[in-house]
Amino acid sequence: MGVQGITEDDIANYLAHTPGFFERHAELLATIQLTSPHGQRAVSLQERQMEMLRERIKGLELKIVEMIRNGQENVAIADRLHRWTRAILLTADAAELPEVIVRELKHEFLIPQAALRVWGVVDAWRHLPFAQGVSDDVRSFTASLGLPYCGLNSGFEAAQWLDDAHTVTSIALVPLRHGAVEAGRGAIGLLVLGSPDPTRYSSDMGTEFLLRVGEIASAALSRLVQP
C-alpha cells in the first residue's frame, strides 16, 4: 500500500497497536499541536490531555454530587415513612386509624388532598365516615387494580371523597388489601391521593413507594374488617 492509500484509521490503528512508537520518537510529542476546545488557540498534546482529564474529573464530580443528592433524598423519604408508620403503630383505637393514616400521610409527604374508604368493616364501625359511600363499581375497580393507578383525574368516582375534588387534576389510587397482594383478592379499601398539579401523579412515575404505603396502611386497617 502506498502513502496515498493510508487512511487516518490506519494511522490510529498502528499507533494503538505500537505502544513503543512515541518512546522511540519522543521528540514528536513536543511538536504536536492541537486546537483547544475552549478557543481556537493551539495547545500541546500534553496540555490537551490535561484538559481532557479535567473534563473527565468534572463529569465524575457531577455524578458524585448527584449520587449524594439522591442518597439524601432517599434518607429523607425513609425518615418520613418511618414517622408515618410510627404514628400508625401508636394509634390504640382502631376506629381512629383511617384519620391518622390520611392526616399523617398528608403532613409528612405534603400531599394536598387525601382520603380513604374501607369496606367489610365490623358492625361496630359501619356507621363511621370511612365506611360510607362506597359503590359496587368502586369495589370492582379496586379489586381489578394490580398496581396503584397514577395519572390524570378523569372523573373517578372515588375522587369525590376528597375535600375539594374539582381542583384535583392528577390522582393516585392505591388499593388496600387484607392478607393478599394479588389483584382481585382481599380488597378491603382504597386510598386516594389528589393534587392540583397535573404532573404530581403521572402515568410514567414509579409506584414502588405507593405499594409500600398501601401495604402498611392495609396491615393497619385489617383491624377494622371482619375475618
Residues facing 174 on adjacent strands: 191
Condensed to tens digits (0 to 9), the pLDDT of residues 199-224 reads 999 988 889 999 999 999 999 999 99
Torsion of CA 59, 61, 62, 65, to 10 degrees: 160
In this predicted structure, the answer to whether residue 184 has a pLDDT above a threshold of 60 is no
4: DSSP letter: G
% helix / strand / coil in the chain, to the nearest 5?
A: 50, 15, 30
In this predicted structure, the answer to whether residue 106 has a pLDDT above a threshold of 70 is yes
Between the CA of residue 93 and those of 45, 124, 190, 222, 224, what are the distances in Å?
Answer: 75, 13, 20, 13, 10
pTM of the model: 0.70
128: DSSP letter: S
- pLDDT at site 24: 79
Confidence of residue 4 (pLDDT cuts 50, 70, 90): low
